[in-house]
Structure 1
Amino acid sequence: MHVRTLTGGLTAALLVSLSLVGGPAVAAAPDAAPAPSAARVLTYDASGSAEFRSAVDRGAAIWNESVDAVELRPAAAGQRANIRVLADNGWPRALPTTLGNGTVYIGRQAVDQGYDTIRISAHELGHILGLPDRKPGPCSSLMSGSTAGTACKNPYPNAAEKAEVEGDFGGLLVGRTPQALPDVIVD
């Protein structure tokens, strides 16, 4: 009985608190567009990306041009970044931790085989933004990755890829663990 009273009291307190926080309901004007939400800012540290630094910056800029719900910015000196970008001699890959966080490797192996560095950068950043590989795929799909071939230089996400990122970052999914993605995405 004591527990029941405590639970009832907590429930009542919660309801009162929520009603006070919520404030009065206000109806929007019929033709009023929904207020745009601010872009979620994610920082990236490309200091370890060696010769790929400009390609990483361009890949981030392409995402900024393509979507409104998220913005990629270089991290300030000493700032802990959401995304770390490194160069190595392997194949390009991403290790997302949660949506908008993780590590990208710009692997020289793909570059040596003729793949475009800006497309690689934008593609790997796409993984950190929650997108899976879409293989095989055409050059018009950024997330088709290497299956589009070395002749493909398209670094831009298509409409479906943009919409998926907008949905993830415009909704309540920020900070979630990317369920559809493996721990390591090797392209």
Structure 2
Amino acid sequence: MAAPDSAEQQQALELARRSVGQYFLGEQQPPDWSSLPSWLHEWLSVFVTLHIDESLRGCVGSLQPRRSLAEDIWFNARAAAFEDPRFKPLSAEEWPQTMLSLSVLLPSEALITENETELLQQLRPEVHGVTVVQEHRRATFLPEVWSHFSEPQDFLIALRQKAGLPPQFSAKAQYYRYATIKIPSTRLFSQ
């Protein structure tokens, strides 16, 4: 997928805004998908991230495409606002203060590694998102999460801990990298 232009980015953000706004108004019906621009019908996945005053307020997404981008934006926006288990549901009072951003995931690539050094050599901080999978445990960090860590090893330790795995490298774990198309932050509430 080519990076969406500014008008297409606004269409995606507006879809997320409408999803949350209609929820507050008690409207559950999704839009007529057929009326949306063709690029939103592509089979892609997205993470919807919400912040209030630079603090995470919700983040929900799909690692693998399972529906159109429009549908993924719609349902993940609602889930980020009202179903992220780390937070209470977004309140009407918080709504106007909340910032929204989207990260469209490009296809992931399995990494072949035998140790932490080889793994780090295949990753570019702030360019690659990373997913770790071991047995039934899985976690991901989007590319922008690298900025929260001063050392790349700390990023990987935190990722493994998020998945409920030991902090040290294990050859039993499988790693995947992916890039994203970042749609910049804007207010969730739009008049």
Same fold by TM-score greater than 0.5? no
- The structure with higher relative contact order (CA 8 Å, sep 6+) is 2
Higher strand share: 2
TM-score when scaled to structure 1? 0.25
Higher helix share: 1
